[in-house]
């Protein structure tokens, strides 16, 4: 399971949360939250579920879509 960095950032801002507030809600560092949002690091499946819960959005909204040709 891979996340879409831009979707995480968009959902966080829509929820009115700072990176620090979201990181605290998920139980990770603010630095790691920034790396997840920038796409430099991948969120673990467990952390992605926690992010979705904290943002009150469906998990699928944060997942990277894979299209086969």
Give the orientation angle of helix 5-14 with respect to helix 45-55, to 10 degrees: 30
Q: How many domains does the chain have?
A: 1
| Domain-embedded: residue 69 | no
Domain that holds residue 15: 5-59
Q: Is there a domain that residue 31 lies in?
A: yes
pTM: 0.89
pLDDT of residue 46: 96
**CATH number, domain containing residue 45:** 1.10.260.40
Alpha-carbon distance of 68 to 14, in angstroms, equals 30
Any domain includes 43: yes
Q: How confident is the model at residue 1 (pLDDT cuts 50, 70, 90)?
A: low
| pLDDT tens-digit map of 17-62 | 999 999 999 999 999 999 999 999 999 999 999 999 999 999 999 9
H helices present in the chain, as ranges: 5-14, 19-26, 30-38, 45-55
């Amino acid at each position: 399971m891979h996340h879409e960095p831009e979707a995480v950032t968009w959902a966080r801002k829509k929820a009115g949360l700072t990176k620090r507030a979201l990181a605290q809600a998920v139980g990770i560092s603010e630095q790691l939250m920034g790396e997840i949002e920038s796409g430099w690091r991948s969120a673990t499946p467990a952390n992605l579920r926690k992010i979705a819960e904290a943002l009150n959005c469906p998990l699928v909204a944060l997942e990277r879509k894979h299209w086969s040709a």
